[in-house]
Amino acid sequence: VPQHVWRINLDTSEEAHQNLSFGAADRWWEQTDLTKLILASNKLQCLSEDVQLLPALTVLDVHDNQLTSLPSALGQLENLQKLDVSHNKLKNIPEELMQLSHLRSLLFHHNELSHLPDGFGQLVNLEELDLSNNHLTHIPTSFALLVNLVRLNLSCNQLKDLPADICAMKSLRQLDCSKNYLESVPSKLVTMASLEQLYLRKNKLRFLPEFPSCKLLKELHAGENQIEILNVENLKHLNSLSVLELRDNKIKSVPDEITLLQKLERLDLANNDISRLPYSLGNLPLLKFLALEGNPLRAIRRDLLQKGTQELLKYLRSKIQDDVTSPNGDPPATAMTLPSESRVNMHAITSLKLLEYSEKQAAVVPDEMFDAVRSHPVTTVNFSKNQLSEIPPRIVELKDSVCDVSLGFNKISSVSLELCMLHKLTHLDIRNNFLTSLPEEMEALTRLQVINLSFNRLKVFPSVLYRILALETILLGNNQVGAIDPLQLKKMDRLGTLDLQNNDLLQVPPELGNCETLRTLLLEGNPFRTPRAAVLAKGTAAVLEYLRSRIP
């Protein structure tokens, strides 16, 4: 650091005398002592003791240098409020630093500290302390005196435990202890009434503490530990919790009482050992994100997990009703159900323009459903999750208005000619059926934009699809398709999404790379050798580029 920086308060510079455009009253640098000094991102190896010549400093920032020690004169800067010495090579903190009673922010992250001075508790006005990414093995008990501390980051150290006295930090809102070797959390820690965010990821925790006083805790991150049990006691007091992250643990079950967390917005339980979920999860009013992949769930199919949170919650809610009605309530509707029992929802037909008869396990759709439509223009039909073996012929009556038809999760083995007459159809969902082919007459569906044929029994790519040029999305995952015609696909200039995951493609034709409208191309789970998995993992643009490079 040039010497005149340290002496800036003492020496008047030559330029000041020469620059006559300033009157004496305007020359503020001669009257005001330096308050901020930023020396960040240089190659400093040491700081001079002359730093004491700048007693008015409130901010000193020397982060991202090559400092191996700090001058003891720092202790003289009694007005210092913020000191940033992060990203250096410091092995210890001078005791003199503990005299800086006005210090509010102290950033020591990314250094080589292996221990801290015992006098840390003297920094009573400290509000932010970052000691992450060092080599600390323990925390001095005097930390308990830091009663104004709001944010404390101890992540990425070598801590095996935390002092119980830490609970005396009554202002602490954010505590990060991720990436340490903690096997437990002191029981007193959970009496910290101000705590809002607690990070315990990547430790060796076998269980979560109970949180009797943490009424304000909004986020609890405890992924990548060895937690096996989630108890009611761990959860019942956390009235404010909005994020609960427990991925990559060994949790076997989720208690029904999880519904006590009425403010929960994100719940991450991916990669655990959970085999069943409480259906009541579906009733959490604010839940926007639920991750469950990587669990041995029996009741929930994998494709449902891939559809996203809202579909999953809808499914769980539908199961609550099943649980309520099945034991003693109404018998499930079957083919023998009388029309009078089918309960037509006129509100849905008139206001929502929706004709719905789904999840009834029915072999036929009762005539009275179609009778009820009469002259009302219905745009959406949902007959999914039944036992239909054919598409109801009377669907043709809706041809002048219907745009969206869902027939998924039935036992349909062929697409009827009646369906091919729905000339306004834009969305067709016929997944999870027994289709082996599609009729050429489907070419009449000139407005069709989205077709979902996943989980059927198609052995070849249905050639009629090549001729429906309005198609933007074709979902053919989990069939047995063995080949595709890239030249025909290239003519489909609106096609943006093509899902061929888990089929029987033995090779991917390089010319597919010329289909430049494709934004999403999914090919995982096929027996072809190239492109290799590493190329597929890079995403669609990379796959198409790779394929183009292989065109002879």
294-341 residue pLDDT tens:
888 877 877 787 788 888 888 888 887 655 443 333 333 333 333 333
Residue 348 exposure: Cα atoms within 13 Å on the Cβ side: 12
Q: Say which range, 54-68, 329-343, 381-395, 534-548, has the weakest mean pLDDT.
A: 329-343
Q: Say which range, 61-70, 96-105, 270-279, has the weakest mean pLDDT.
A: 270-279
Q: What is the pTM of this model?
A: 0.58
Helices (H), 375-501: 486-491
C-alpha 452/C-alpha 431 separation (Å) is 6
Contact at 8 Å (CB) between 169 and 191?
no
Please report where in the chains the tokens 């001078």 appear, as a residue. 94
Which listed CATH number (3.90.1170.50, 3.30.310.160, 3.40.50.1820, 3.80.10.10) goes with 346-549?
3.80.10.10
What are all long-range contacts of 522-531, with beta carbons under 8 Å and residues at least 24 apart?
A: 522/477, 522/498, 525/501, 526/500, 526/501, 526/502
C-alpha 334/C-alpha 248 separation (Å) is 42
Contact at 8 Å (CB) between 431 and 407?
no
C-alpha 525/C-alpha 305 separation (Å) is 17
Amino acid at 439: P
**Percent of the chain's residues with pLDDT above 90:** 65
User: Which residues 6+ apart lie within 8 Å of 477 measured at CB?
Assistant: 454, 455, 499, 500, 501, 502, 503, 522
Strand-pair category, 450-452 with 473-475 = parallel
Burial label for 54, CB within 10 Å (0-12, 13-18, 19+), is buried
Per-residue pLDDT tens over the stretch 372-409? 888 889 999 999 999 999 999 999 999 999 999 999 99
User: Which residues 6+ apart lie within 8 Å of 401 measured at CB?
Assistant: 353, 377, 378, 379, 424
38 or 193: which carries more pLDDT confidence? 38
What Cα–Cα distance (Å) separates residue 434 from each residue in 44, 95, 265, 445? 71, 76, 38, 21
Contact at 8 Å (CB) between 406 and 358?
yes
Contact at 8 Å (CB) between 235 and 208?
no
Peptide bond into 531 cis (omega under 30): yes
Residue 333 is predicted with a pLDDT of 37
Which of 22-26, 30-34, 162-166, 540-544 reaches the highest mean pLDDT?
Answer: 540-544
Strand-pair category, 289-291 with 266-268 = parallel
C-alpha 110/C-alpha 91 separation (Å) is 11
Q: How many Cβ atoms are within 10 Å of 195's Cβ, its own excluded?
A: 26
Per-residue pLDDT tens over the stretch 227-255? 998 887 778 788 899 999 999 999 998 98
User: 3-state DSSP call for residue 514?
Assistant: helix
Contact at 8 Å (CB) between 310 and 325?
no
Mean pLDDT of 351-368: 89
Residue 205 is predicted with a pLDDT of 94
User: 3-state DSSP call for residue 452?
Assistant: strand
Q: Is the pLDDT of residue 29 over 70?
A: no
Q: Is the pLDDT of residue 257 over 60?
A: yes
33 or 451: which carries more pLDDT confidence? 451
Sign of the C-alpha dihedral computed for residues 266, 303, 389 and 391 taken in this order:
positive
Per-residue pLDDT tens over the stretch 126-141? 999 999 999 999 999 8
User: 3-state DSSP call for residue 490?
Assistant: helix
